């Protein structure tokens, strides 16, 4: 079942982050991709939290996109903050933040960011059936 797409907007507030995470699990369960739910949830949680923290005052929403294409689940989080594109950096060992993109990189097979007309989209690829045997 290739070629599925699902997008949903969430209010740009911290209470939306766990709602978005739960929504991702529900959609992946519906798509019979439950084996990717833990990683996809964690990725969305990190990216949505980044949007809530860094895109304040720029827009009212962030959007979560899920796409299934050619054996890959593409997880995307978009927001309206366009002045600074996110970059992966090494976090301060004594700090409490700065590890979001390190986590995304560790969980995904590939990730990146692209500008939009207004804002940006951070995306991550998860290969479907990474560890599973072919039937």
Is-above-0.95 flag for pTM? no
**Domain boundaries along the sequence of the chain:** 5-127
For the cut 70, the answer to whether the pLDDT of residue 96 exceeds it is no
Tell me, which fold does domain 5-127 have in CATH? Answer: Heat Shock Protein 90 (3.30.565)
Cα→Cα distances 80→2, 58, 109, Å: 29, 6, 25
For the cut 90, the answer to whether the pLDDT of residue 128 exceeds it is yes
- For residue 21 the two structure tokens come to 């995470």
- For residue 60 the two structure tokens come to 């009212």
Res 92: pLDDT = 52
């Amino acid at each position: 079942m290739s070629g599925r797409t699902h997008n949903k907007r969430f209010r740009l507030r911290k209470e939306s982050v766990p709602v978005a995470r739960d929504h991702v699990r529900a959609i992946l369960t519906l798509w019979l991709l439950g084996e990717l739910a833990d990683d996809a949830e964690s990725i969305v949680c990190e990216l949505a939290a980044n949007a809530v923290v860094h895109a304040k005052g720029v827009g009212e929403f962030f959007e979560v996109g899920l796409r299934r294409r050619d054996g890959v689940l593409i997880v995307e989080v978009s927001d309206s903050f366009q002045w600074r594109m996110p970059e992966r950096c090494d976090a301060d060992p004594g700090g409490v933040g700065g590890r979001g993109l390190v986590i995304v990189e560790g969980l995904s097979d590939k990730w990146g960011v692209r500008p939009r007309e207004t804002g940006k989209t951070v995306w991550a690829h998860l290969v479907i059936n990474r560890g599973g045997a072919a039937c």
